[in-house]
Amino acid sequence: MEAFVTTLLLTAIVQTGDRSQLLCAALAMRFARPGQMITAVLAASIAGAAIAALGGVIVGDWISRDALALFYALSLLFAGMGMLAWRRPVDLLQGWRIGPFVTALLGVMILQFGDKGQFIIAATAARSHDAVWPLLGGAVGTTLGLMPALIWQDELARWPLRPVRIAMGGVVTAIGLLLALRAFGLV
């Protein structure tokens, strides 16, 4: 259950002001079909979390306990640093003419593939040797993290996301750094 809760919280946090969130807001405004958008985001989140969790369980069987601790620490450290870094603008998929569900599904899956949330899911699955709880936590957390963009859309642009993103990025970076120092036996 710890794997579910930590993955849910961390994946929701790292979505704050992320490109996936901005894409979801833009697509929600463009298509005005909230049901299809939510379903597509949930499906994309489940697919991405499944890939990450299964990969994490496979990797978890190959590496030592100390390396797993370092893998988890680095996933948080790099996720936090990624929140602090500049992001290139998101492609709003204006040229895509495949409908709201498929556009949102593929757009979110492409942006999420190899993103910080997936590394957190993979590292949690590797550490816990369980794919189910990190998969569920990651899928729910990612969906919850993207939900404000689907609900508030253009209002989201007026929110002070940058300071919140920097504050949360600092916290996640600090936790990752602390866990990395622990993994090396320095703390």
Note the pLDDT tens digit of each residue in 151-170: 887 777 677 878 888 999 99
Give the integer Cα–Cα distance in Å for 82 and 38: 25
Is the predicted pLDDT of residue 20 greater than 80, yes or no? yes
pLDDT digits (tens, 9 = 90+) for 55-72: 999 998 898 888 999 999
Q: Where do the domains of the chain lie?
A: 2-183
Handedness of CA 110, 112, 115, 120 (dihedral sign): negative
Is the predicted pLDDT of residue 25 greater than 70, yes or no? yes
pLDDT band (50, 70, 90) for residue 90: low
Is the predicted pLDDT of residue 46 greater than 90, yes or no? yes
Put simply, whether the predicted model's pTM sits higher than 0.85 gets the answer yes
- The number of C-alpha atoms within 13 Å of 33 and in the hemisphere containing its C-beta is 13
Residue 130, by phi and psi: left (phi above 0), alpha (psi -120 to 50) or beta? beta
Q: Determine which helix (DSSP H) or strand (DSSP E) holds 64, and give its type and residue range.
A: none
